[in-house]
Every structure is written in C-alpha cells, then in structure tokens.
Amino acid sequence: MTDLSAFIAGLPKAELHVHHVGSALPRIVAELATRHEGRTRVPADPDALAGYFEFRDFAHFVEIYLSVVDLIRDPEDVRLLTFEVARELARQQVRYAEVTVTPYSHVHRGIPAPAFCEAIEDARIAAEAELGVVLRWCFDIPGEAGLPAAEETLRIALDERPDGLISFGLGGPEIGVPRPQFKPYFDQARAAGLRSVPHAGETTGPETIWDALRELGAERIGHGISAARDPQLLRHLAERQIPVEVCPTSNVRTRAVAAIEEHPLPRLVEAGLLVTVNSDDPPMFGTTLNDEYAVAARLLHLDPAGLAGLARNAVTASFLPNPEKAKLTAEIDAYLASA
C-alpha cells in the first residue's frame, strides 16, 4: 500500500491560490520583526507566532495580516520574502505557482512601485534558475482599501507590467465590499490581457460569486465555497468548468467554516466542479500545500490516483501555456506510474 504522505510529498504540483506576504515563514517574519524591533507588535520569536496567528474571525485575520505587511519596509525585504516563498514551494515539489501579490499595500507604505516590481522579478528569475520553480504574479486589489486601491493597483499593473504578471485579482474582506464597484478596473485589466481571478464566496453567500462572474468576468473563483449553497450556481460552474480555488484549512482558521469535517469540498467535487486545492496563507494558518492535499485526501477518500487527479486539476486550471501544461501533466502521470 502506498504511503499517502510520502506520495503527496513527492507529487509534482501547481499552486494557484497563495498569497505573497501570507506565505512568509515564521523564521522570515521573525527576522523582519527583529529588523524593525520597536516599530512593530509582531513577535520576533518564531515560537510566539503560532499564538499571534490565532484568528477570532476574518476581520481579525485581516488586522494581523496587515501587521505582517507592515514588516516589509524596503525592496530588500521584498526580495528576501519572495525568494523564501519560492524556496518553500520548491521544497514541496511545486513546479509552478501563481502568487497573489498586493503591490498597493507596499507602495502605500513607501516602497516605489518600480522598485517593488524589480524586487519580485529579481527573486522570480533567481528562483526559476536556482530552485526550478516557475512563479507568476496575480496583482490583487485589497478590498478593504476601496476604490483608491483599485485605481492604484491597476496603474501599477499597467505601467510597470512586470514580465511575471498574468492576472488581476481582488482580495481582503467580502462583507461590506461589494464586487460590482470594481468592474471598471477589471474591465481595463482584462482589456490589457490580464486574467480575472477575484476572491468570492469565502465569507459571503453565492451572490458574491455571481457578481464576480457577471461583473468582473472571473475566469477562476478564489475560494468559492458558498457555491455549495446554490444548485443553479453549481450547475453553472460545472457546465463551464470554471475552476474554484479551494483552501480548506484557511476556511476553518478564519472561521468561514466551523470545522474541517463540515467543509463543502466534497459537495463541490460531487457537483462536477473543476476543483483545485491550495494553501492561501500557509504559515499563518499552520499548513502547507502538502498538508492541504492530505486534508483533501481525507475529505474525498482519495488514493494516489485521486491525488494525482487533483494535481492535474491545478495544471488544467492554471494560466500556463498549453505546451507547459502538457509537460507538467506528463510529469504527474509519470510520477503516479512509478509510485
């Protein structure tokens, strides 16, 4: 019998929903907190971060998340964070990752947009050469900062247009942040060739997902778990094979789902959706992408073939060019055959 943990550890993967700052490992957060000691409430002790990353609800998570964003003070911090994110992805056999980056949060705190983009690009190029992991960027609007953030995010995306940039997103809280107001910005981003990947249906109902589809032209849905409550929406997503980026542990840690046993992942799969499993803000939620595959295996009763199918879903749902999709899919198939 195949050891599922060992199988997952070696399985080639794509990661489609992982946040840049939210991927900062405890040792990196602690290093940055030490650099800026006296100017932050983030603990400089890696062991103390587990307690710091206990979230009462989604609003508290956003508050803590922004305190970590505040640790990123200069391009050197950005470059360090980005390369270490890539190193951790490579350690988990991630071959390709679409990383959600929020440039507004850093530019608003004083890092010039060109310097920010140069830092992430420098780390991206080095990571591909040294670690073998391919990174691409989704520039996302922090919804809590409103339309000024949307305007600035779009400006940075279109003016700087780093080589790794492929998509445009919308993150942050959903409650009190209606999706339709962002339509003009998504229209312009899409007209410029960027793909639409907003968060929707994480902490609100199916109507937010409908808004993301109808108003923002969403090609994938970040989270999308409340689709399970709407049979018509499930049919729509299944018929069109619009992928959902599911992050099970994240949903429990932010209290969007009461317990992992109650997660709607099985209902989404049963309805025929193109489901991908992702890690979101892994160190903050005490997880990894490998852990999320193990959670999915448990919830969906997957064997190695089923886990390989989940990995293939992420490749299918990615924005990789078709030849690269075929290459990564073949690698997954060969790994399964050798297991």
DSSP letters along 28-92, please?
Answer: HHHHHHHHTTTS--S-SSGGGHHHHT--SSHHHHHHHHHHHHTT--SHHHHHHHHHHHHHHHHHT
Confidence of residue 164 (pLDDT cuts 50, 70, 90): very high
Highest-pLDDT range among 23-27, 35-39, 62-66, 93-97: 93-97
Q: How high does pLDDT run on average in the chain?
A: 95
pLDDT in tens, 33-63: 888 777 788 888 888 887 888 888 888 888 8
Of 125, 111, 217, 108, give the one whose Cα is nearest residue 162: 125
Confidence of residue 2 (pLDDT cuts 50, 70, 90): low
User: What integer is the mean pLDDT of 69-81?
Assistant: 91
User: What integer is the mean pLDDT of 252-274?
Assistant: 96
pLDDT in tens, 178-198: 999 999 999 999 999 999 999
- Could you give the 3-state DSSP secondary structure of residue 14? strand
Per cent of the chain over pLDDT 70 is: 99
Tokens 């490998």 locate to 290
- Please name every residue paired with 96 in a beta bridge, in sequence order, or none if there are none: 14, 134
- Could you give the 3-state DSSP secondary structure of residue 209? helix
- Residues designated catalytic: 202
Amino acid at 232: Q
Tokens representing 315 are 């490749």
From CA 56, how far away is CA 1, in angstroms rounded? Answer: 40
The pLDDT of residue 66: 85
The DSSP bridge pattern shows strands 195-196 and 221-223 to be unpaired
From CA 82, how far away is CA 286, in angstroms rounded? Answer: 19
Tokens representing 110 are 């004083």
In the sheet that holds 13-19, the strands lie side by side as 13-19, 94-101, 134-142, 165-171, 195-196
pLDDT in tens, 214-251: 999 999 999 999 999 999 999 999 999 999 999 999 99
- Please name every residue paired with 184 in a beta bridge, in sequence order, or none if there are none: none
Domain CATH code at residue 322: 3.20.20.140
The pLDDT of residue 68: 86
| Number of domains into which the chain is organized | 1
Confidence of residue 1 (pLDDT cuts 50, 70, 90): very low
From CA 241, how far away is CA 149, in angstroms rounded? Answer: 31
Of 207, 206, 186, 184, give the one whose Cα is nearest residue 198: 186
Q: Which residue has the higher pLDDT, 41 or 170?
A: 170
As a whole number of Å, the end-to-end CA separation of the chain is 10
- Specify the DSSP class assigned to residue 285: T
The pLDDT of residue 183: 98
- Could you give the 3-state DSSP secondary structure of residue 295? helix
* Gyration radius from the chain CA atoms: 19
Q: Which of 43-57, 89-103, 274-288, 314-328 has the lowest mean pLDDT?
A: 43-57
- Please name every residue paired with 168 in a beta bridge, in sequence order, or none if there are none: 139, 196
Range of the domain at 117: 4-338
